[in-house]
């Protein structure tokens, strides 16, 4: 592996540690605040916003995009928890809540990514 490849791995790793620590902080807070699964919508929406901003910013290097996008956002956001909560709502036969949860999660994530991409000067 080249030095550049190693530095890319270091960037992803550092971002992942930061994202994991931020996600852990949200998890600890949600346990004390007794928040519903809707906080996953918030985490994933925030992650979509950050990823949208990072992926379109002309001010970030490719390595910084790896750190923020693959590393931080990859470990901060959580598709698996999103699907487990949706499956739990379906199992409880709360199909209205499940449908709303899935709809809001997806729409909020897409809108946040667009907003994040438009917030910073874009290379596109």
Say if 19 falls within a structural domain.
Answer: yes
pLDDT of residue 40: 85
Say if 101 falls within a structural domain.
Answer: yes
Q: Is the pLDDT of residue 82 over 80?
A: yes
Note whether 110 and 49 are within 8 A (CB).
no
Say if 124 falls within a structural domain.
Answer: no
C-alpha–C-alpha distance, residues 76 and 20, integer Å: 5
Tell the residue number behind the tokens 């990859």, with chain if given: 74
Of the candidates 5, 9, 1, 7, which has an alpha carbon nearest to the alpha carbon of residue 70?
Answer: 9
Q: Which domain range does residue 85 map to? A: 3-119
Q: Is the pLDDT of residue 34 over 60?
A: no
Q: What is the pLDDT of residues 55-79, one digit of tens each?
A: 888 888 999 999 999 999 999 998 8
Say if 32 falls within a structural domain.
Answer: yes
Q: Is the pLDDT of residue 121 over 70?
A: no
What is the pTM assigned to this prediction? Answer: 0.82
Say if 17 falls within a structural domain.
Answer: yes
Angle between helical axes of 38-56 and 3-33 (0-180°, round to 10): 150
Say if 108 falls within a structural domain.
Answer: yes
Q: What is the total count of domains within the chain?
A: 1
């Amino acid at each position: 592996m080249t030095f550049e490849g190693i530095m890319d791995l270091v960037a992803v790793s550092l971002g992942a540690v930061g994202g994991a620590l931020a996600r852990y902080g949200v998890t600890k807070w949600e346990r004390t605040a007794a928040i519903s699964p809707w906080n996953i919508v918030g985490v994933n929406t925030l992650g979509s916003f950050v990823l949208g901003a990072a992926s379109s910013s002309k001010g970030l290097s490719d390595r910084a995009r790896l750190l923020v996008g693959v590393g931080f956002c990859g470990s901060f956001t959580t598709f698996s928890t999103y699907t487990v909560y949706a499956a739990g709502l379906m199992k409880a036969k709360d199909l209205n809540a499940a449908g709303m949860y899935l709809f809001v999660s997806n729409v909020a994530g897409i809108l946040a990514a667009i907003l994040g991409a438009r917030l910073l000067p874009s290379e596109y």
